[in-house]
Amino acid sequence: MSRPDLKAGGTKLAVIDHLSLHIYCACGHYADLEVADIIPTMKPDATVADVLLSRKCSKCGTKVPPQVRIIYRLPT
């Protein structure tokens, strides 16, 4: 499955390994994923688009969520 609004290339996970992805689904469900936890499960040059294309909503089963945000969290 591909979406024209997901650019080829895109942000590489290795560059944002200290950040998290906040992924929203059209059904209202959302998830926070730590990029550092995702990297070992993906190919070495994986991008945010690769993550979106490989996941589905755990509530409704929809693939490729409509919205994602890359979140920086201040250290606690």
54 lies in a domain? yes
**pLDDT by residue (tens digit) across 34-53?**
999 999 999 989 999 899 88
30 lies in a domain? yes
Question: How many domains does the chain divide into?
Answer: 1
Of residues 57, 69, 66, the one with CA closest to residue 5: 66
- State which residues form the domain around 39: 13-71
Helices (H), 5-46: 35-38
> 3-class DSSP state for residue 20?
strand
pLDDT-derived band at 20 (thresholds 50, 70, 90) equals very high
55 lies in a domain? yes
Residue showing tokens 């209202």:
28
76 lies in a domain? no
5 lies in a domain? no
